[in-house]
Amino acid sequence: MPISVNLENAGEIDRVAEQILRYLSLHPGASDTIVGVRQFWLQNMRPAPSVRLVLDALQALVSKGLVSESRSQAAETLYRAKEE
């Protein structure tokens, strides 16, 4: 089932979203900013996805209820697996 809502880059968004979910299945307590997600969670993706693509994938996962977002004390958005 496709995860993305943005049809223009749907295949790429789905590919990034699947990698994020794979990472979270291996590291269920992980939490990071979009920059950290791109740098650490997706470090093996080639070519490296753009920040915009990572953001689109994270937003799609948040809208599907698979990932949650919160604000850090520094007012940065943090992403983590949605607790059941």
Domain boundaries, the chain: 9-81
Q: What is the pTM of this model?
A: 0.85
Q: What is the pLDDT of residue 1?
A: 44
The three-state DSSP-derived secondary structure of 3-65 is CCCCHHHHHHHHHHHHHHHHHHHHCCCCEECHHHHHHHHCCCCCCCCCHHHHHHHHHHHHHCC
Q: What is the pLDDT of residue 49?
A: 94
CATH topology for the 9-81 domain: Arc Repressor Mutant, subunit A (1.10.10)
Q: Which residue has the higher pLDDT, 13 or 3?
A: 13
**Has residue 11 got a pLDDT over 70?**
yes
Per-residue model confidence as pLDDT tens digits over 28-71 = 999 999 999 999 999 999 999 999 999 999 999 999 999 999 98
